[in-house]
């Protein structure tokens, strides 16, 4: 499909600077632009590329002030990153989605599936399961008994959803994730062996949640493990039993959250973060990558870093001290030598 800069600007409610009839047929990163491409500049670190960019149109922030001549047509918007994301979403929606059922498929008794569905080959759906409209289920997905899946949800291949789980509307679950496996519950006995504690709860994933590939979200011991509306999980994340993740919280890859921890809304958690169990994290908290959270965080919108983590200002002070340890050690050694000399002189 071909669009003009004017059409894109109207869609984004942006301001054109250059040729409104410049044609766009594809997307490209700003450093890899080519004629007919649409690129964007949101991060100032990439500004140098706009001066040599060959794309026909570039979306920029409204307050962007170029230092040199720019050849592409510009579309100025309040947020270039948000505008470009909107365009990519619109472009994806234009691509036709698959519908119908491939073969073979197994569907258990008393299960229902809404209209306009896509069910891939080798999908297994258990009994008493209710699946909404416009749901896409890719090949080799296993869906257990007594499950609810809302409208417009997308489940990619090799995913497994255990019995009794509830999946909301407009949810995306990427390949090979496991929803509702048993939580890690074992009780030691008198013979120093471990008896399994039955995990009889479920997992609830609310509307507009996205779960990355190879994630594991464990069912609750009792009650529910809950991923609340709008939360986004990256790939390779472990969410233990009875955890709650708040609305619009985002978590990067390889993070792990231990059992019964409650994370607030609008939090941002970096990659490889470890969070212990039975604590609470306040709304709006940001946690830097590779941090270890070992206690409750009560202060909203605070930033934490390190392992064990502390507020970022304290962490940076400690880091300066840590980096100076070799010099501090050297000074101590020299002081000890001086003290020893003075002692001999006496």
Per-residue pLDDT tens over the stretch 228-251 = 999 999 999 999 999 999 999 999
Total of domains in the chain? 2
Q: Indicate whether 179 belongs to any domain.
A: yes
State the Cα–Cα distance between residues 155 and 286, nearest whole angstrom: 29
Is the pLDDT confidence value at 119 over 90? yes
Q: Would you state the pLDDT for residue 346?
A: 61
Q: What torsion, rounded to 10 degrees, do the Cα atoms 23, 29, 32, 35 define?
A: 0
Q: What is the pLDDT of residue 92?
A: 80
**Bridge-partner residues for 218, per DSSP?**
181
What is the spatial distance between Cα 228 and Cα 314, in angstroms, rounded to a whole number? 31
Residue in 168, 124, 123, 165 with CA at minimum distance from that of residue 147:
165
SS3 at position 93: helix
Long-range contacts at 71-74 (CB < 8 A, ≥ 24 apart): 72/18, 72/22, 72/33, 72/39, 73/5, 73/16, 73/17, 73/18, 73/19, 73/20, 73/22, 74/16, 74/17, 74/18
Concerning whether 174 is annotated as a catalytic residue, the answer is: no
| Same domain as 163, residue 141 | yes
Q: Determine the Cα–Cα distance for residues 106 and 257; give it in Å rounded to an integer.
A: 34
| Long-range contacts (CB closer than 8 Å, 24 or more residues apart) made by 118-121 | 120/157
Q: How many CB atoms lie within 10 A of CB 287?
A: 28
* 179 shares a domain with 55: no
> Would residue 66 count as lying in a domain?
yes
Q: How would residue 325 be classed by pLDDT, with cut points 50, 70 and 90?
A: confident
Claim to verify: residue 140 and residue 24 sit in the same structural domain: no
Catalytic residue among 68, 170, 174, 241: 241
Considering the domain architecture, whether residues 156 and 267 belong to the same structural domain is answered as: yes
Cis preceding-peptide flag for 104 (omega within 30 of 0)? yes
**Residues 120 and 86 reside in one and the same domain:** no
Question: In this structure, are strands 244-245 and 262-263 parallel, antiparallel, or unpaired?
Answer: parallel
CA-CA distance, 181 to 196, in Å (whole number)? Answer: 14
110, 12: one domain = no
Separation CA 212–CA 172 (nearest Å)? 8
Query: pLDDT per residue over 123-144, tens digit each?
Result: 999 999 999 999 999 999 999 9
Q: Which of 293, 279, 199 is nearest to 243 (CA)?
A: 279
Q: Is residue 177 within a helix (H) or strand (E), and if so which, with residue range?
A: none
Q: Please, are residues 225 and 203 in contact by the beta-carbon 8 Å criterion? A: yes
Longest dimension (CA), the chain: 97
Does 132 lie in the same domain as 89?
no
Give every CB contact of residue 335 below 8 A, 6+ residues apart in sequence: none
Establish if 125 belongs to a structural domain: yes
- Answer yes or no: do 73 and 106 share one domain: no
Higher pLDDT, 257 or 1: 257
Percent of the residues in the chain that have a pLDDT greater than 90, as a whole number: 83
| Per-residue confidence (pLDDT) for residue 89, from 0 to 100 | 84
**Same domain (yes/no): 129, 59:** no
Average pLDDT, the chain: 94
Question: Which CATH number characterizes residue 87's domain?
Answer: 3.40.1390.10
Decide if pLDDT at 18 tops 80.
yes
Asked if 131 and 80 sit in the same domain, the reply is no
For residue 201, the domain's CATH number is: 2.160.10.10
Residue 128 region, left (φ>0) first, then alpha (ψ -120 to 50), else beta? left
| pLDDT recorded at residue 342 | 78
Express each pLDDT in 267-295 by its tens digit: 999 999 999 999 999 999 999 999 999 99
**Are 36 and 167 within one domain?**
no
Residue 17 placed within a domain: yes
- Which of 60, 94, 128 is at the close of a domain? 94
Tens-place pLDDT, residues 54-79: 999 999 999 999 999 999 999 999 99
CA 274, CA 254: separation in Å to the nearest integer?
9
* Domain-located, residue 346: no
Query: Which residue intervals of 24-69 are DSSP H helices?
Result: 47-50
Q: Which residues pair with 68 in a beta bridge?
A: none
| Residues 129 and 22 occupy one common structural domain | no
Domain containing residue 81: 3-94
pTM attached to this predicted model = 0.86
């Amino acid at each position: 499909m071909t669009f003009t800069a004017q059409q894109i600007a109207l869609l984004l409610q942006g301001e054109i600077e250059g040729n409104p009839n410049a044609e766009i047929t594809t997307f490209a990163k700003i450093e890899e632009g080519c004629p007919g491409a649409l690129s964007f500049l949101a991060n100032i670190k990439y500004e140098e590329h706009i001066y040599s960019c060959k794309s026909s149109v570039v979306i920029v922030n409204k307050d962007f002030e170029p230092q040199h001549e720019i050849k592409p047509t510009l579309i100025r918007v309040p947020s270039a990153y948000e505008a470009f994301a909107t365009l990519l979403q619109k472009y994806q929606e234009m691509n036709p989605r698959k519908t119908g059922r491939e073969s073979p498929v197994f569907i258990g008794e008393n299960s229902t599936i809404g209209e306009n569905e896509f069910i891939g080959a080798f999908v297994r759906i258990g009994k008493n399961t209710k699946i909404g409209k416009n749901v896409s289920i890719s090949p080799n997905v296993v869906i257990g008994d007594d499950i609810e899946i809302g409208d417009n949800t997308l489940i990619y291949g090799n995913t497994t959803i255990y019995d009794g789980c509830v999946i909301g509307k407009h949810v995306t679950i990427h390949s090979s994730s496991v929803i509702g496996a048993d939580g890690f519950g074992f009780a030691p006995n008198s013979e120093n062996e471990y008896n399994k504690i039955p995990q009889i709860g479920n997992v609830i994933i609310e509307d507009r949640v996205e779960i990355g590939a190879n994630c594991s979200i464990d069912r609750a011991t009792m009650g529910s493990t809950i991923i609340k509306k709008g939360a986004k999980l990256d790939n390779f994340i472990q969410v233990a039993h009875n955890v709650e993740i708040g609305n619009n919280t985002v978590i990067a890859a390889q993070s792990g959250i231990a059992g019964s921890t409650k994370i607030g809304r609008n939090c941002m958690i970096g990659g490889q973060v470890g969070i212990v169990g039975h604590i609470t994290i306040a709304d709006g908290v940001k946690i830097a990558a590779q941090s270890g959270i070992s206690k409750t965080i009560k202060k909203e919108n605070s930033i934490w870093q390190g392992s064990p983590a502390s507020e970022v200002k304290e962490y940076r002070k400690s880091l300066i001290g840590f980096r100076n340890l070799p010099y501090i050690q050297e000074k101590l050694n020299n002081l000890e030598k001086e003290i020893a000399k003075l002692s001999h002189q006496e």
